[in-house]
Amino acid sequence: VDSNGGGSEAGQEIANAIRTFGKPSVAVIHGGGVSSGYLVAAAADRILALEGSTVGSIGATYSFLNQYEKNKKEGIVYEQLSSGPFKDTFSPDKPLTDAEREIITRDLDILRNNFVAQVAMYRRLPVEKVAALADGSTMLGAQALENGLIDGIGGTREALAHLEQIIGEPVSLCWQ
């Protein structure tokens, strides 16, 4: 894994595929297993990371650029023509309303809680422990090991050795 994440849906799809693969799995986090990239790694039976690997960033974000003030200064006027008051919620050309912020926050809470629950289930950790780590921050390999987000410090060689021990025969990488 060398991913800073992406959409929660893609991470969930890949994690589901790993969980239903039916074969032993080891994820190796190289540069980073962050956000959805970490969720994918968490779905494996075992996770290894290097000491300098960046791990975690459990949480959700809906961030966007807002150029309303710039447009106002430049005399650009936003004309709202939409089928409902929330249809243009993420438009960068208008200020975010309190009602929109409330809906976005609601959805972020749901996404975060789902993420926490999945990591807790995959890693066999108490939900409360994962929730305490789910502030969006990352940690390096040794700290991730201390917090139960990975199973060991190591790389590809150690992952292959682990799989060979489990299945009792040599393992080859699919890209070699």
- CA proximity to 134, closest of 31, 60, 51: 60
Which one of 3, 35, 53, 57 is the catalytic residue?
A: 35
Q: List the Cα angle 58/37/122 in 5-degree steps.
A: 65
Of all helices (H) and strands (E), which one includes residue 152? Answer: strand 152-153
d(CA 52, CA 34): 13
Which one of 72, 82, 87, 137 is the catalytic residue?
A: 87
**Does residue 35 carry a catalytic annotation?**
yes
CB 150 within 8 A of CB 48: yes
DSSP letters spanning 128-149: HHHHHH-SS-EEEHHHHHHTTS
**Does residue 172 carry a catalytic annotation?**
no
- Name residue, tokens 């987000």: 149
Active site residues: 35, 87
